[in-house]
Structure 1
C-alpha cells in the first residue's frame, strides 16, 4: 500500500506498476535526484496535485494488478 509520506523513489522501486500513472498525472520527475528525498505528498503538492487523490489512484492501480500489501 502506498502512503503519501513514502519517498517517490521508494515507491517507484517497490511498485514499478505505478510509473506510468505517475507520469500521466504530471509527475514526470520520478527519476530525478529529488525523488530520493521527496515524499509523494511533497511531490504532488509541488505539481499542483491533491496528494490524497494521487495516493488513492495509485493504490487502485496496485489493486488492479493484484497487489494489496
Structure 2
C-alpha cells in the first residue's frame, strides 16, 4: 500500500523516516535542507528538478514498505 502521495510535502516524507533522505539523494533530489523542503510537495520538487515522479514515488514506497 502506498504511504506516499504526490501532494505530500518533502518535509512530511522526511518525517516518516530520517533515512528516507538516502532515497531522495539517490534519485537526484539534493536540496533536502533548503526552505523548499518545507513548502514544496514531492510533485513540485520532482518537476523542479526534472525527476521522474512515478519512479521516485515507487522507490520511496518500496523503501518504506521494508521498514
TM-score normalised according to structure 1 size? 0.85
Runs of 4+ in 1 over 4 A off after TM superposition: none
Q: CA deviation at 1:17?
A: 2.9
Matches within 5 A, 1:1-69: 1-65=3-67
Size of the alignment, in residue pairs? 65
Distance apart, 1:32 and its partner CA = 0.8
Contact 1:17 1:61 in 2 (8 A): no
| Runs (5+) with no aligned partner, structure 1 | none
Q: Structure 2: which 5+ runs fail to align? A: none
